[in-house]
A = this chain, B = another copy of it.
Amino acid sequence: MLPKTPAKGMRDFLPKQFALRQQIMATIQKTYESYGFTRIETPAVENIELLTSKQGGDNEKLIFKILKRGEKLENAAESELCDLGLRYDLTVPLSRFYANNIGQLPSVFKAMQMDSVWRADRPQRGRFRQFVQCDIDIIGEETNLAETELISATTQALSNLGFDNVTVHLSDRRLLTALADKCGYSDSQKPSVFISLDKLDKIGFSGVEQELSAIDKDKAGEFINLIQSIVNSDNPFETCADVLNGYLPDSVKQNIQDILYVTNSLIQNGKVVFDVTLVRGMGYYTGTIYEVYADGLNSAIAGGGRYDKMIGRLTGQDIPACGFSIGFERIALLMEERGITFDCNRGIAVLLDKRMTADERTNVIRQCADLRKQNNVTVLNKIKNFGYQLKQLREQGYADIYEYRNGVLSKID
């Protein structure tokens, strides 16, 4: 027998599930369009050199690689076997897209993408091997107008999806670097320090301190004390700026201050707070980073940051870029669990008798065509187990069911 189930970690979507997902996407797209973002699409498959160019961080370990075609593959090393792979995110392909189409794009390009990505991750609850990402990016805008627009648009999209109390956590990679500098960490130690700090919500301050001690026993205590003194102060951002006096350029401080001020004045469904413990995984971030938390949920439902050095690897010249990604699958799961469904009145079902003549059949189908100008109309043959058929049709959302009897279309109650 052939396999009936989808490939490991992947999913079939039934009509109701698909409808919910499509409705969420439509809501997000409409919101983003109202902010001037336009949707683009790149292929699911990219050249393997692009996918393994050290932009994708740990995701590069999770690539589904595609076998070369039409070649002798015996005794070949793995690196020679594959020339293509499935994309693991939408940011690396966006950079390639921008470089490839730069002549046809406006000087500030506001891109929207909603598409599947693939990662050969260990499947677990809420984590799949094919899943949708939902990104907006502003390319070519060096000022924080990019950040304020991204934060406004994303919180508005979440509001339109029913998230009416969100908190945006904001920080800056340069600020983390300054903190590490102040404690005397070397450049080579910093990535490990940040990776440990990123685990704070999972392992707590004591856990982070333990990991930091393994990197450098002397500096661990000072770093943790610094972070805690900022977190526990009345005004974490002012405290942090004071602590980093001499280590952080004024412009970086001013930038965060501006973004906090502008976005807090604008957002209707929540607030934006400075969070010194924010790290975010990807190595390509060069400036601001941000995540969105919703009431009652302890992991982020959206996140992003500025990556001013990535596109230059493809164009040869650095171009400022800044993005925000909504956790589509997280939100779809939440909405499904909360039983949120969209109106599924499918319209009218018309039941025919198999013994009807071609003339009768034509006559009734023509009547259905008239009904169809105003309604969705499905035409079906009556089955033997008529009660079961009616039950199924009601479950599918058919409000009105008609049958054709003695030349007349009459409603069944």
Residues of A within 8 A of B (CB): 1-7, 10-15, 18-19, 21-22, 33-36, 38-47, 49-50, 53, 64-67, 69, 73-75, 77-78, 81-82, 84, 86, 96-97, 99-101, 104-108, 110, 116, 118, 120, 129-130, 141, 143, 145, 148-149, 152, 257-258, 261-262, 265-266, 313-314, 316, 346-347, 349, 352, 354, 358, 361-362, 365-366, 369, 372, 375-381, 383, 388-389, 392-393, 396
Contact = CB atoms under 8 A, between A and B. Distances in A.
Per assembly, the copies of the chain total 2
B99 A45 contact: no
A390 to B, nearest CB: 11
A28 to B, nearest CB: 14
Contacts of A116: 44
A118 B45 contact: yes
Contact of A266 (B6, B81, B365): B365
Nearest to A260: B358
Given A3-B47, A14-B104, 7 more contacts: A2-B49, A6-B43, A7-B43, A7-B46, A73-B81, A106-B392, A145-B379
A381 B36 contact: no
A344 B381 CA distance: 43
Contacts of A99: 4
B1 A53 contact: no
A289 B172 CA distance: 62
Contacts of A36: 346-347, 349, 376-380
B18 A41 contact: yes
A131 to B, nearest CB: 10
Contacts of A313: 2
Which of A106, A266, A366 has most B Cβ within 10 Å? A106
B69 A66 contact: no
B389 A12 contact: no
A396 B105 CA distance: 9
A366 B264 CA distance: 11
Contacts of A66: 64-67, 86
A369 B3 CA distance: 52
